[in-house]
């Protein structure tokens, strides 16, 4: 007697027939490897396994994959950002508002990402110098093997410092003082949003971020100018 075929399960959410991996690949146009990678990054719901070698995916996975690809291609968000957006979407949050929030908080990347070897060639840093810069957080890429245009610009500046005879250790204060500044900003934000709704907190955080970015640059630049000119910080009145 032949083996009785296993009936295709239905999605418990919308009642639609669930999909095999092959069908997902055909409907989304992306590879099986990419889908499995999304699964490993917790961007997609886990499949229902009817046997060790057969798995079915919710029909909504197609739309979810399309959204992920859109967020990657149109906004160039990282997978970590996308994961948060998807999680909030599941809670019924306003995804469009959250997307705009992420665009403001996390500047969009420019240009293709570079691996370590390509980054060293483009920046002029040696591998040892790169390791040191990463350890001192003078370079803070999305991952330790993916460098964007901003990382490359920072790498070029570090190379210039080294050419002047300034060691990377001499620049370690940047990350240390940045920690203090950002910690204070986060404390202000925590107090600010304590009694606000989710949408209100999102809007308030956006305004706070815009203001913080302005004052970081404004105050540090003005203090730098005063000290460079050898003038006292306080304005002198006759």
| Claim to verify: residue 39 and residue 60 sit in the same structural domain | yes
Secondary structure (3-state) at 56: strand
Domain end point (choices 56, 80, 105): 105
Say if residue 151 is in the same domain as residue 183: no
Question: Within a domain: residue 66?
Answer: yes
Contact 186, 194 (CB under 8 A): no
Helix axes 198-228, 95-105, angle to 10 degrees: 10
Q: What is the pLDDT of residue 236?
A: 53
Collapsing DSSP states into helix, strand and coil, what is residue 17?
A: strand
User: Do residues 9 and 48 touch, judged by C-beta distance below 8 A?
Assistant: yes
pLDDT band at 1 (very low <50, low <70, confident <90, very high): very low
Whether 11 maps to a domain, the answer reads no
Classify residue 13: in a domain, yes or no.
Answer: no
What the block records as the tokens of 193 is: 């949003």
Same domain as 177, residue 156: no
Mean pLDDT value across residues 96-105: 82
CA angle 127, 144, 37 (to 5 degrees): 140
Mean pLDDT score, 11-28: 87
User: What number is the average pLDDT over the span 180-209?
Assistant: 93
Please state the pTM of the whole predicted model: 0.69
Instruction: Give the count of domains, the chain.
Output: 3
Nearest to 204 by CA among 104, 91, 80: 104
Mean pLDDT of 213-221: 95
Residue with tokens 């979810």: 64
DSSP 143-203: BTTBB-HHHHHHHHHHHHHHHTT--SGGGTHHHHHHHHHHHHHHHHHHHHHTT--HHHHHH
CATH code of the domain covering residue 137: 1.10.1660.10
Q: Report pLDDT digits (tens) over 113-171.
A: 899 999 999 999 999 999 999 999 999 997 778 899 999 999 999 999 999 999 999 99
How far apart are alpha carbons 133 and 168 in whole angstroms?
7
Q: Which pair of tokens denotes residue 131?
A: 């390791």
Where is the domain boundary, 131, 149, 170? 170
Q: Which domain holds residue 205?
A: 172-232
The pLDDT confidence band at residue 23, using thresholds 50, 70 and 90, is very high
pLDDT of residue 222: 93
Cα–Cα distance measured from residue 29 to residue 14, given in angstroms and rounded to the nearest whole number = 23
Cα separation of 56 and 58, whole Å? 7
Q: Give yes or no: residues 30 and 96 share one domain.
A: yes
Residues 6+ apart with CB under 8 A from 213: none
Would you say residue 7 lies in a domain? no
> What is the DSSP-derived secondary structure letter of residue 136?
T
């Amino acid at each position: 007697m032949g083996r009785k075929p296993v009936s295709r399960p239905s999605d418990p959410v919308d009642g639609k027939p669930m999909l095999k991996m092959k069908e997902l690949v055909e409907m989304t146009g992306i590879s099986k490897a990419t889908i499995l990678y999304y699964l490993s990054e917790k961007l997609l719901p886990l499949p229902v396994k009817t046997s060790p070698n057969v798995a079915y995916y919710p029909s909504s996975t197609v739309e979810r994959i399309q959204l992920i690809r859109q967020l990657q291609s149109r906004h160039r968000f990282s997978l970590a950002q996308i994961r948060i957006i998807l999680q909030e979407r599941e809670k019924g949050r306003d995804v469009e508002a959250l997307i705009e929030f992420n665009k403001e908080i996390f500047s969009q990347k420019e240009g293709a990402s570079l691996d370590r070897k390509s980054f060293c060639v483009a920046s002029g840093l040696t591998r040892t110098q790169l390791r040191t810069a990463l350890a001192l957080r003078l370079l803070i890429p999305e991952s330790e093997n993916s460098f964007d245009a901003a990382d490359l610009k920072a790498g070029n500046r570090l190379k210039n410092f080294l050419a002047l005879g300034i060691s990377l250790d001499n620049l370690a204060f940047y990350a240390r003082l940045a920690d203090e500044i950002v910690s204070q900003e986060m404390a202000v934000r925590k107090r600010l949003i304590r009694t606000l709704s989710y949408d209100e907190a999102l809007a308030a955080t956006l305004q706070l971020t815009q203001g913080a970015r302005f004052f970081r640059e404004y105050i540090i630049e003005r203090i730098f100018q005063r000290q460079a000119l050898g003038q006292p910080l306080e304005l002198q009145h006759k």
